[in-house]
Structure 1
């Protein structure tokens, strides 16, 4: 089979610069060369740049990055190597390395003027991912909860799209294509180490199972996207923000038939995470229990995923609970405060930091709200909102820039999708952004995020 770059990249909207993540393995090298062919033959105005992440976790990594740099240089492709520096965690290393990889790729892409980074994930990677997630869900008794594999595009840190154009292709097809072109690649020995879960799953999957799991990933993705759209409509219909940091749900939020109930459950999980500033949606079973209690209409107070839930005659109110609120210095890079505020540093403002406004601080500033909203809830919500400090001196609340004298760009964030937003969840994230008053999300690289079947 000969691969057609035009069919892979025709609908891709990448702006003026396109970045490609290249490790030196067969998948990423094939992606780089396919992208290079596409640019030369079909999009000559598009500038291509390659980025290699050296995690520094193996002695060979620096030499491998240098090999990729030479490979690119021979073909006239711009290239940058970025290194994961600093101490590495003793536990959770794989997750930390993944986070560092995406952060370094996003930083490099932005330096090059790119808003999209291509990643060489294949159908084999998709099948392995779904098999691992299914095994974990089964072990936790959560099968049928809407599993999905990797999305065709994922927004990282609200700023750069990670696009995966090869999700429909088998790894062996890419290697055969490279072989016909006489291109060699680097084999990472960790890809054969059975100490890693993915390697064990890969070795256990038969050829036909990969195709079957790929089809299942697409089916689950379509179902997840459809549910995200219904949950977004539910939020638009029943949720509002009467004051900074305070969300209100109409009592009818908990009503509806079984189909509407699924949308309400997902919507409530997303709203709790947004109010509480948590990166993950709360446990489905606990939210189902909460929704049943809300449907009863009895007065109630509860806390879930750092969000305080308070039912009143005027509706159901969600806000950040007033504990474990961080104090974050405004360093040189972007800051994500409590999952609810995205900010950048002010030049020369080394002593500035972000912390909670607190009850005393909230009492110093007028808080306008909608009629019927209890003032006590407004004050409690304001107390957990971010404020700007110089040393121990309160300059002002983030939401009153005139009082704060804040020259630093800052805007609300929707916590569950602030770091990783899959294309499946884009409708839901857009609804949360509108509700929180956050900026519109960057345009996606493809109009459709699941990819051809």
Structure 2
């Protein structure tokens, strides 16, 4: 089997390339194709052990041995699940991306390869259809997506799983089968079974994946139009998105929904935008403050501000020096002993009596990063007069972000 073009295109990329490998057939084949396309010395492999199955640790060790045989550096990442209630698969997926992104940055990898196949793409299309998804949802998985500041690439979206397994058998390479992939309690497993019954109607994995690719091209065009609109009608102010209210009202409701959904995920760093119907509901009530998915949207003059909901920012964990607070802010110098970063909140504003002179609305300041020693405000980095500490908003510009997410 020849490496796909998406892998070969990385040959001239700078730095090492990460590979996420679970030990299943798809990611194992991805590793072998990446070795053929890029060479083992360029690769860094990681296996996430979610510690949800007793056999997972042994499977991760088996992957480590495979990587060692082929000269690929490998590391096992462990997820300590804080809560096993609710949608466990979703929690595990989000944790996997976060762990891989942290690991990739430590390895100097700007890109991490994922082993999603044509079959995964087709299953995603059917699942999105069941949710009455719009254009973006029916476009299914993108071949390239940015999460936590790292680019994740899916080179195998046009490759059938059976073809990968046949190739691995020819190479004499074994893989592990996760028993949860046959557990009918999970929606994706039931969808996979349904796909087999749809194939005689022409709705097989290849057809659904091809449809998703065509819709993705259309969706990319819409993203470009919205990014051009955002370039003209939005700006980022101290971590908030500020939109021209009149220009927003002239957008088609579905386009306005997409802009608001993107702005909310930009501000919060959430992996997915809020549900479309929830965002559409907001459009009719932007004359007064509204909250959704950890954001607060409120009118300010002839603009609409989209900022971090203060109560959500206040719940963000205090951080040690050098790390990103609330997924958005990085302090530009170390903290003194005994100090920490947390939201300013009403307590901070009470200790900063001239906050009105800063030129920011109260709601923005409430969620701004502040330097504390116990309950005493030491500094408010958003204050331009306070040069003792400065905080950098570490996200791309919003129009560019619209294109890449």
Under TM normalisation by the shorter chain, which class is it?
0.7 to 0.9
- Compute the TM-score of the two structures, normalised by the length of structure 2: 0.83
State the match for 1:21 in structure 2.
20
Partner of 1:411: 393
CA distance in 1, matches of 2:282, 2:371: 35
Indicate the residue corresponding to 1:57 in structure 2. 52
2:242 maps to 247
TM-score (norm 1): 0.75
Distance 1:428 1:329, change over 3 A: closer
Structure 1 residues 336, 125: closer, same or farther in 2, change over 3 A?
farther
State the distance in 2 between where 1:239 and 1:229 align: 15
Match of 1:108 in 2: 103
Q: Is the 8 A contact 1:357 1:386 kept in 2?
A: no
1:32 aligns with 2:15: no
SS at match of 1:403: coil
Do 2:314 and 2:345's aligned partners in 1 also have CA atoms closer than 8 Å?
no
What is aligned with 1:4? 2
Is 1:213–2:212 an aligned residue pair? no
From the superposition, tell whether residues 10 and 127 of structure 1 become closer, same or farther in structure 2 (CA, over 3 Å): same
How does 1:371-410 map onto structure 2 within 5 Å? 378-400=361-383, 403=386, 405-406=388-389, 410=392
Aligned to 2:344: 356
State the partner residue of 2:224: 229
Whether contact under 8 Å (2:136, 2:216) holds in the other structure is: no
1:20, 1:48 within 8 Å by CA — same for their partners in 2? yes
Shift, 1:33, TM fit: 0.8
RMSD: 3.4
After TM superposition, the structure 1 = structure 2 runs for residues 22-421 of structure 1, keeping only pairs within 5 Å, are: 22-40=21-39, 47-85=42-80, 87-137=82-132, 147-158=138-149, 160-206=150-196, 207=199, 208=202, 209-241=204-236, 245=240, 247-255=242-250, 258=252, 262-272=254-264, 274=266, 280-285=272-277, 287-288=279-280, 291=283, 300-305=287-292, 306-310=295-299, 312=301, 314-320=302-308, 322-327=310-315, 328-331=317-320, 334-337=323-326, 340-341=328-329, 346=334, 349=337, 351-358=339-346, 359-361=349-351, 363-365=353-355, 367=357, 369=359, 378-400=361-383, 403=386, 405-406=388-389, 410-413=392-395
Relative contact order (C-alpha < 8 Å, sep 6+): which is higher? 1
- Per the TM alignment, residue 94 of structure 1 is displaced from its structure 2 partner at its CA by 1.4
Structure 1 distance, partners of 2:128, 2:332, is 35
Question: Are the aligned partners of 1:152 and 1:165 in contact in 2 as well (CA < 8 Å)?
Answer: yes
| Secondary structure of 1:5's aligned partner | coil
* SS of structure 1 residue aligned to 2:130: helix
Unaligned runs of 5+ in 2: none
Change (3 A) 1:74 1:248: closer
Q: Go from structure 1 to structure 2 and tell me whether the alpha carbon gap of 1:26 and 1:277 turns closer, same or farther (over 3 Å shift).
A: closer
Contact 1:387 1:396 in 2 (8 A): yes
Contact 2:116–2:154 (CA<8 Å) still a contact in 1?
yes
1:344 and 1:100 mapped to 2: Cα distance? 27
Please state whether the residue corresponding to 2:131 is helix, strand or coil. Answer: helix
Contiguous gaps of at least 5 residues in structure 1: 295-299, 370-376, 415-426, 433-440
Is residue 19–residue 44 contact of structure 2 (8 Å, CA) maintained in 1?
yes
Q: Deviations over 1:88-121 (max 9, x none)?
A: 4233321221122222222322332212111111
